[in-house]
Chain A
Amino acid sequence: MNNQVQPPRAAVRLFRWYCNDALVEDMLGDLEEIFDNNLSKMPRWKAQLKYWIQIIDLITSYSVKKRKNDSAFHLLSNTQNSTTMFKNYFKVAYRSLLKQKLFTAINVIGIALGLSISLLMIAVISDILEYDKFQKNRDSIYRIITKTYDKESVEHWATSPAPAAELVSEFSEIKHIVKMNNQLEGEVHYNGKYIPMYGFFVDPAFLDVFSFELIKGDLSTALSQPNNILITESESIKLFSEEDPLGKVVSIEPYGEFVVTGVLKDHPKKSHIHFDIIGSYQKYTQLEQQQILPKLSTKWDHLEDHYTYIQLKDGSTPDNLINGIAQISKNKQANSPNIEVNMELQAMSDITLGKELNRSLGPQWDTISMIVFGVMALFILIPACFNYANISMARALKRAKEIGVRKVVGGQKQQIFLQFIVETMLVCLISFALSYVLFTYLRVEFMEFLAPASAAGLSLEITPLMIGSFIAFTLFTGFLIGIIPALHFAKMKPLNALKNKLPTRVSGKFNMKKALMVVQFTLSLGFIMAVAIMLDQYRYSLNHKMGFEQENVLNVKLHDAKYEQLKTEASKLSEVTAISFSSTIVGVRSHNFTWIKQSDHGDSSQVFQIFADQNYLDLHEIQLLAGKNFPSEMPKQESYVIVNEEFVASLGYENNNDALGKTVILENGTEVSIIGVVQNFHYTDIRNEIKPMFFRYDPSQFAYANLKLNTPDVFSTIDKLEDEYEKLSEREFQATFLSSDINDVYVWYHYFVKMVGFLGFLAITISCLGLLGMVVFNVESRTKEVGIRKVHGASVKKIAFILSKEYISMAALSVIIAVPLTYALFDFMLPYMQHYNAGVSIGAVFLSILFLLVMVGLTISSQTVKAAKANPADTLKYE
């Protein structure tokens, strides 16, 4: 007999696995007998091969199928009556969750916090994917976008050169081409009402290409005349109330009069094209000819406001068009030597979730920020998941007996597995309920955070689909979290489990756990430091010396009021101590640049300009270093400018006085002379470096009156001013304080700190919960050790230290990792965010570390001190 040679084990295993619970012992016996017989007749490999063939033969035979079938419907089978089993799983899960209240709470809170950001992310993604879904021709609509290169930089534009449309329209694949210009903006006037509206001048094909529904008016003639205008339903109600809008004449300054020829249904919110009114492109061309709008539509390098959309013919592909458009760009290159213009096609589906473009329409999410967001969400969620897995594995010791008994009375692997998965799912669903509450709060905050970034913004409306995907995500997460502990429990050997002789893999996995903990704390510290550093920046920005006086200065928008009249009226009020006029509000972001030349043949350079009157410098307390202010009687022809120190330096003069009397040539060719030099001040916000700027004098450019107030009662003064203003203009009185305008520039810090602060809060809470779980488990399993140490005379302090030391070293390690990384990141980023910044202060770093250590310390000591204080007489009895 050849007892040593066994049949191939893999084959036996395969057979067993395939047959599952079916009774096939006799078959295996038969096979083994044949195998033994064969061994004496043939070489071993041949016998093994035969064995394999027979196994396969059996697996595919009717007999095994029948036996499997029998076993599946057997009295003790787990496939029978599964609803009862599920009820039982829920009952057991419910009981065990109640039994370990602390751990359940830690898990539920941890997962709820972890999930919240993921829910937000799902909401954002599903919102983005909804964009432009309502467009019926979605798949065949493309936009021509442009990439420009000049000497300094590459820019990506959502716009395209206006003359391109004519050339592109010659391609045979194109069904429609729509030129759109977004300069149709202003206050629409009808019957004493002024309502600000925004929209596009478009080609008539606009209504064919896009699914914007015309509810009143004739589709074929709606945009046939230059002065036709379409209005959305809600805006039409605002403007005309009950009246029938069709045929009404409205005026928009400075564009003139329009006839309403149609009412468009309000377009869905989730449209990247957003408008209140739609005018005709013919009107735009007219306005250009009348020089009301700058004549730019023939310029190939002008890319400010012009969009081109194409609809392809059904069934045609854009490939040929892409090459054609590239070719057109190349041919036109010769005309504009300074700037290289390259046009490309962009599918409609790539507009909202695509790359970031200048002058883009609607909200825009580039892939990178989506990824950053996703990574953030995972950074928050994954630690929560690991905490759950860690804690439940650690609890395995406590539940070993339960599992042992289950297995002995016939519990199958799948049943144990399912039981733990159900338990995890239950925890996740409870967490989800909590997380959802958190999400509704987060949603509002997040929208506020986004608001300044995107004009139209995301709505993040809660839809059934969204809730469905939330729950699906939660269950998926639950499954992923649960699978490791569930497999671990299912694999337990019943005998070992009952004897409490568990493979103490816990210690082996401890290093992994420690590493995860360190990662979590590193991340938390990173967030805390980010908050501290950004708070520093916020404080710094608000207190930064702007170089001018910002208190008690009220800026009143002039609109069509005559500035001389306003001056006379306002001067009558005793509260107004000084008045000046200017083109912009100083100290906030603005792009009021112009080009100047030193001589006819010199290079032009970019200069920031403010149009101001004689009182401007005094009122703002901007210091004049050399020369003099604008004289009270200015010549008709613009001839004087006042410049800042940077300007003087850029001209190449060392001394301010040297620049006085020198002349520069403005963009329109006028030669002006420098009569004064002022100290550098922040003419825009402090994100930008102070560069050359000058003050010009041109009353036609005045847009704001700057009033210096001296009054105990601001509101009544503003009321009085409003009364005066109403005498001069029909328009709404708009006034803001300079200091609050300036503070508004930095308000994004507030939202940023709130958002990052919240992320930090999540990160540190989850980490501390995980730590708490670890410490509780560790302390529990070392109860006896502590008792014995105490009996031998160890002090409470000493024991608490012994129990805590590994955690303290973990926290220390994360400090060592996090501090240099975060420091480097912010040191690199801050100058890009804001030229004048507070940098990374030692105080902020120190406070963050302190905060982390205090949190960690509190978490650890909450358990260790209690354990150390326990009476050894009790703990040693504890079994």
Chain B
Amino acid sequence: MKGYLGEFEELVLLTIAAFGNEAYGVAIKEDIESRTNRSISIGALHSTLTRLEEKKFISSWLGGATSERGGRKKRFFNLTAEGKTALSKSKELRDELWSMSQIDIKPAHD
């Protein structure tokens, strides 16, 4: 396993996974913002995406010209096999820890 997966990195990876082939900068940003109720800076997001790409957890490609956003292309992201492995390793670790923990799991209400 390559390096340690940070909390924000994991969040971004999971979001990309949720979008399938439609994950691009603004979509990821807005999705995370709405789910976590926190504001993400665009610089931090792009930096994280860049790092994840360097770690080969995601791959990216440029889409075609668009009609909105000044006709500018979108860069789409997708999980790689390594990215999927990293996510599942991370989940295994958590599941293991959760199973050993002595907290009652209650679904969050808010």
Is A62 within 8 A of B24, CB to CB? no
In angstroms, Cα B47 to Cα A33, docked, is 19
Q: Given A33-B26, A34-B42, answer yes or no on A26-B73 (Cβ-Cβ < 8 Å).
A: yes
Q: How far is the CB of B67 from chain A (nearest CB, A)?
A: 10
Q: Given A33-B69, A54-B43, answer yes or no on A26-B25 (Cβ-Cβ < 8 Å).
A: yes
Number of A interface residues, CB 8 Å? 25
- Of chain B, the residue at the smallest CB distance from A67 is B50
Q: Given A1-B68, A36-B68, A62-B51, answer yes or no on A29-B46 (Cβ-Cβ < 8 Å).
A: no
Is A63 within 8 A of B69, CB to CB? no
Q: How far is the CB of A184 from chain B (nearest CB, A)?
A: 81
- B residues near A60, Cβ cutoff 8 Å: 43
| Mask: chain A, 40-69; 1 = CB below 8 Å from B; 0 = not | 000000000000001001101111101100
Is B68 within 8 A of A63, CB to CB? no
Is A27 within 8 A of B46, CB to CB? yes
B108: CB under 8 A from chain A? no
Which residues of B2-53 have CB atoms within 8 Å of chain A's CB atoms?
24-26, 29, 41-44, 46-47, 49-51
Q: How far is the CB of B28 from chain A (nearest CB, A)?
A: 10
Is A63 within 8 A of B47, CB to CB? yes
- Interface core residue of B47, B50, B70, B73 (most chain A CB under 10 Å): B70
A31: CB under 8 A from chain B? yes
**B24's contact among A1, A30, A37, A64, by CB below 8 Å, is which?**
A30
Is A66 within 8 A of B50, CB to CB? yes
- A residues near B72, Cβ cutoff 8 Å: 25-26, 28-29, 32
SS of B interface (majority):
helix
In angstroms, Cα B44 to Cα A61, docked, is 7
Number of B interface residues, CB 8 Å? 23
In angstroms, Cα B69 to Cα A30, docked, is 7
Across the A-B interface, how many residue pairs have beta carbons closer than 8 Å? Answer: 72
Q: Given A57-B42, A61-B43, answer yes or no on A34-B26 (Cβ-Cβ < 8 Å).
A: yes
In angstroms, Cα B75 to Cα A60, docked, is 20
In angstroms, Cα B50 to Cα A25, docked, is 15
Q: How far is the CB of A673 from chain B (nearest CB, A)?
A: 108
B102: CB under 8 A from chain A? no
**B42's contact among A7, A30, A66, A67, by CB below 8 Å, is which?**
A30
- A residues near B84, Cβ cutoff 8 Å: none
In angstroms, Cα B6 to Cα A138, docked, is 67
- A residues near B50, Cβ cutoff 8 Å: 62-63, 66-67
- A residues near B24, Cβ cutoff 8 Å: 26, 30
In angstroms, Cα B62 to Cα A126, docked, is 61
- B residues near A58, Cβ cutoff 8 Å: 42-43, 46
- Of chain B, the residue at the smallest CB distance from A54 is B42
Given contacts A29-B69, A29-B70, A57-B41, 16 further A-B contacts (CB under 8 A): A6-B70, A26-B24, A26-B25, A26-B72, A26-B73, A27-B46, A28-B70, A29-B25, A30-B26, A30-B29, A30-B42, A31-B42, A32-B69, A61-B43, A62-B50, A63-B46
Q: Using a CB–CB distance below 8 Å, which chain B residues touch chain A?
A: 24-26, 29, 41-44, 46-47, 49-51, 54, 62, 66, 68-70, 72-75
In order of increasing CB-CB distance, the 5 nearest A-B pairs are: A29-B72, A61-B43, A57-B43, A26-B75, A63-B46
